[in-house]
Chain A
């Protein structure tokens, strides 16, 4: 019988390997014949380590388990689906999963990540087959019609980028996948790459064949060694099976894929800094224009999309643009892969159509704070995202509504803080982070961030109301300069967490305790 123990870095970070070893040993000791499969996580990180068994074609889950539970699981004959205090029933029917709408993440965590046959049996490569049967224009039109927008943070329509690259004339074009997932509170790229790498490869292959690009790069941050290994392994498997390399699937199209590894630089998640880094240079951003779609990697037309954007493409091609666009609200179509993180009881991946409320996400799925103390602040969209207070729990989670509420969706990370948080401290950190990670090309970001730290420190340590008011006004002025004067989102958006903290949590900016 098949027993599944996740092999991704999150599950292993809390002991999945020890469970796999214990299960193997216990099975041998008791003479129970098992087949141990190391799948990826399904994204319910609060249930890790989630052990599953396949009984009568159905997956039964147990969790969260530790190595100490293994003996009692065997006593309960869990390998036959036996009842145990950690029984969760059928995996698909666990409410937390059943209430989601998994499209991009439909295959994540089901099989062993490098099992190509398993991937195909779950509908993998149906999108590429469809794409190869269509003209390039039709593939790009399908992506346009789906309403898919950049999931990395900027929210730019993916189809328009593709159309620009398709229309550009050049002897070489590229597809670059931005897997430099540096935003705190986000981990969907990592989980997708570790648990379902073929989906990303398929999405990039569709992009390449559609616009005539024959070389692709995946730029993965070095903090993700397991994702790097999974992608490299999957590239080898796909190449051997004819899904990458020369004449893919007999279509006459060539597509080679390479992995590039970052070296600990947040700003390299900015698309032009990423191109510089792939070219082996300092990760300094480029001024735009020219757009990377016309003059990108090595000066050639380049599609740059985030992991989640490219990984959504196979489903869009396989099931049609209309099915994808039927989800979501307004101009935010399709599904978003939200990541619940920080001080949260039930953290992990929640994929659902745009338009779910923040409350349904963090209290419904998330179950509130991990510590059980009252929730005080929520940061949405990474270190450049706004801090909301609990009065904003009704906000609809889509691109436009979040901007209207004074925030942004970013990469879909949602970080909870309980009442112990000090928002002046968080605002100071936002500036500090910018000063550490700024590429240094433009002055507002390079110098402004350091001045920002100093100003917030003055506010925090002052006992003089007049001085505090003066420094606050200086800080707001600095935020305006950074927002309007910076070349990229690093300096341009650092004011967002700072200003939102100041506006939504004024009591934290009243100086030192008297």
Chain B
């Protein structure tokens, strides 16, 4: 997936649309990540000044949640479920098979809610049930 490059004016207008929310910090970070693919370093100060909270508060939220990222998103992302139901169906070996075999960022995720069709993976946002290396490679094409 490709995202637009960071643009603080666009970021400001995204934040302005969230101004009426009673708890805007997390949804601001999410909205910026959705648009730009990651949270740019300038975003922390921008959110802090827009919503009159401290930069420490914003930084705290940014670093708490596993999904928020501070580096640009890669072109391809593969998430492989590493939780129990998928472990029972060989997720550990799938993880090591996929790592190195594909040119994508491969990371673990804990439960995709597809536990009856394990192992599960997500390739560029698409959920794969009964995942195999072959299915993941096919999806990346």
Contact = CB atoms under 8 A, between A and B. Distances in A.
Highest count of chain B CB atoms <10 Å: which of A9, A223, A260, A280: A280
Given A48-B117, A282-B60, A265 B88 contact: no
B89 A370 contact: yes
Q: How large is the interface on A (under 10, 10 to 19, 20 to 34, 35 or more residues)?
A: 35 or more
Contacts of B127: 9-10, 12-13
Contacts of A260: 27
Given A10-B129, A225-B125, A266 B116 contact: no
Given A279-B22, A281-B25, A415-B84, A13 B117 contact: yes
Interface stretch (B9-17, B63-71, B95-103): B63-71
A512 B7 CA distance: 55
A505 B64 CA distance: 35
B109 interface: yes
Given A14-B130, A264-B67, A265-B64, A413 B115 contact: yes
Contact of A187 (B21, B28, B114): B114
Contacts of B57: 281
Interface in A324-360: 339-344, 347-348
Contacts of A263: 26, 29-30, 65-68
The 10 closest A-B pairs by CB, nearest first: A347-B116, A280-B23, A184-B83, A264-B67, A13-B129, A341-B115, A263-B65, A342-B88, A264-B66, A279-B23
A184 B67 contact: no
Interface of B: 21-30, 57, 60-61, 64-68, 81, 83-89, 109-118, 120, 125, 127-130
A343 B89 contact: yes
A277 interface: yes
Nearest to A17: B126
A247 B5 CA distance: 45
Contacts of B86: 184, 342
A338 to B, nearest CB: 11
A416 B22 contact: no
A341 B116 contact: yes
Contact of A347 (B26, B27, B115): B115
B84 A342 contact: yes
Contacts of A278: 23
A131 B23 CA distance: 32
A421 B115 contact: no
B87 A429 contact: yes
14 contacts: A184-B83, A184-B115, A185-B84, A187-B116, A223-B109, A263-B66, A263-B68, A265-B66, A266-B110, A278-B23, A283-B64, A341-B118, A344-B116, A383-B110
A261 interface: yes
A348 B118 CA distance: 11
B88 A343 contact: yes
Nearest to B109: A223
